[in-house]
Amino acid sequence: MNEKSLFQKICAVAFLVFAIISCVATAQSLSLTLEMEIPFWLSFSMMFIFAFGIYLLTSYCFKLVIDACNMDVYVDHRRRDFILGIFGVLLFWLVCSMPTNTHSLFYTKVVDKVIVTELDNQKATLNNEVGFLDAGINTKYDNLIGQLNDKVRTLKNQFIAEIDNTDRLGLGAEAFNILTNIEVACGKQPDEFFGNRHTKQRNTSPQERLRIKNHYIPQINNLLQQSVDKLNEERNVEIARKEENKQMLLAYISKIESVTAYQNNEEIPHQDRIKAARLVLNNAYNNPDYRDKILDNVEVLVNADAGHKENNVESYKIYKTERLHSVFKLWGDYLSGKIQNLDFDMFYWIIISLIIDIAGLLFFAIAFRKTY
């Protein structure tokens, strides 16, 4: 065996090594993207056979280009082989092999980080939402009660001042108007609470004015208390109505905590851990009771087939695990600049993918080069 033949055999073995690496990556990418309803190992095996065929075609097309450029050997249709070779490389490599390899390598590197980040973010969002359910209602009714107290207090002071008004002492039209405003502020109909107010008392003595105030002020306070009690009853009804949603949120928080711990259990197959995380995340996003709150905070694109409108954001604050599984969505997001927090990782694996494929193609061209 001469040295030249041995070198070609070494190159052939090297080609097989790089071909297997590339095809494993392509098979994983296609299996993740297609998500066929069959066992993952079967899907992976089918995609590996397909990927190996594509890689052989790409390698052969690359060899055609190399041979066509080698003026030391005879080629029947040099121009045709060069054009067909370039076309084949562009079709099989740039359209299939390189994108799927990059997707698979990038996915393998970042999927655990993306899942944990999204789970943590969603847990924090849901915890905030739980707090908002109670705090939001309490804040709402506390504000309403505070505004009512301030308004009635102001009107009560105006009523007292009107009774003592030296220009029109006693109980007159202005005083009755103030009582009416108090009734309206407390949600009553005019004349509903204070009764007949047509008897006017003018030029009354200090003792009579004190009697008038002692008669009406307790009624004003009583009316205010009734209105406050009614608002508190409405508060309790609304809190009770929200309790079901609160319990649902707490249940999902518990699931997120469980699946987060699940991610750290290396005894469980990696694909099973990822599947569990996706199930919890997708259930949360697709739950109509709080998905909009989550989506607003996370700022992710939502699939049209999930029944939501797409949010046209410039970039993701938190990248969505579900989009990471699709080679098409990942590349679309990368090319449109929507994964800025992961773009360096993506670029790094593009370079690695290029090195793997180009090395394999070169070893094939050397191992099977035309020598005559």
Q: How far is CA 344 from CA 26, 105, 129, 371, in A?
A: 21, 13, 33, 42
* Polymer length of the chain: 372
Q: Which helix (H) or strand (E) holds 174?
A: helix 173-185
User: CB within 8 A of 212, min separation 6: which ones?
Assistant: 163, 170, 171, 201, 204
Q: From CA 181, how far away is CA 158, in angstroms rounded?
A: 11
Per-residue pLDDT of the chain (372 residues), as tens digits, is 566 678 888 889 999 999 999 999 999 999 989 888 788 889 999 999 999 999 999 988 888 888 777 666 655 777 777 788 888 888 888 888 899 999 999 998 888 888 888 888 878 877 777 776 666 788 889 999 999 999 999 999 999 888 888 677 667 778 888 888 998 898 887 665 565 554 555 556 788 888 888 888 999 999 999 999 999 999 888 877 777 767 777 777 777 777 777 777 777 777 778 877 877 777 655 555 544 444 443 333 233 233 334 444 455 666 778 888 889 999 988 888 888 678 888 999 999 999 999 899 888 888 877 654
The reported pLDDT for the residue numbered 301 is: 28
Number of helices (H), then strands (E), in the chain: 11, 2
User: CB within 8 A of 140, min separation 6: which ones?
Assistant: none
In the numeric block, which tokens belong to residue 153? 């207090």
Q: Which residues pair with 171 in a beta bridge?
A: 201
Place of tokens 């090195």: 355
Q: From CA 322, how far away is CA 283, in angstroms rounded?
A: 12
**Looking at 126-219, which runs of residues are DSSP E strands?**
170-171, 201-202
Q: Say which amino acid occupies 185.
A: A
Q: From CA 209, how far away is CA 189, in angstroms rounded?
A: 26
Q: From CA 150, how far away is CA 220, in angstroms rounded?
A: 13
What's phi and psi for 263, nearest 5 deg? -65, -25
Q: How do 201-202 and 170-171 pair as beta strands?
A: antiparallel
What's phi and psi for 216, nearest 5 deg? -90, -35
- This model's pTM is above 0.85: no
CB atoms within 10 A of CB 268: 12
Q: From CA 33, how far away is CA 312, in angstroms rounded?
A: 23
